[in-house]
Amino acid sequence: MSGALSIRISGFMLSFAALQSDCTVLYSEDMQDSLVFEGVLRVVNPLKQLGESKTV
């Protein structure tokens, strides 16, 4: 449980810092892709985009 809580707290801290720095995109593999904070900051999972382009 504490592991999940620490990820949530670190995600909150990262998103808060990004908003305070006027960022519009936050790259994170740990947060939900396409999540939007305050209508300004969009989370992008760079690994998800790589995974979608793979063909087997």
Pairing relationship of beta strands 41-44 and 25-27 according to DSSP bridges: parallel
Pairing relationship of beta strands 25-27 and 36-37 according to DSSP bridges: unpaired
Question: Using one digit for the tens of pLDDT, what is the confidence trace for 6-56?
Answer: 557 888 899 999 999 999 999 998 888 999 999 999 999 999 866 665 444
Which pLDDT does position 56 carry in this prediction? Answer: 45
Which pLDDT does position 6 carry in this prediction? Answer: 56
Which pLDDT does position 3 carry in this prediction? Answer: 55
**pTM above 0.85?**
no
Give the other-Cβ count within 10 Å of 35's Cβ: 15
Which pLDDT does position 20 carry in this prediction? Answer: 97
Which pLDDT does position 48 carry in this prediction? Answer: 86
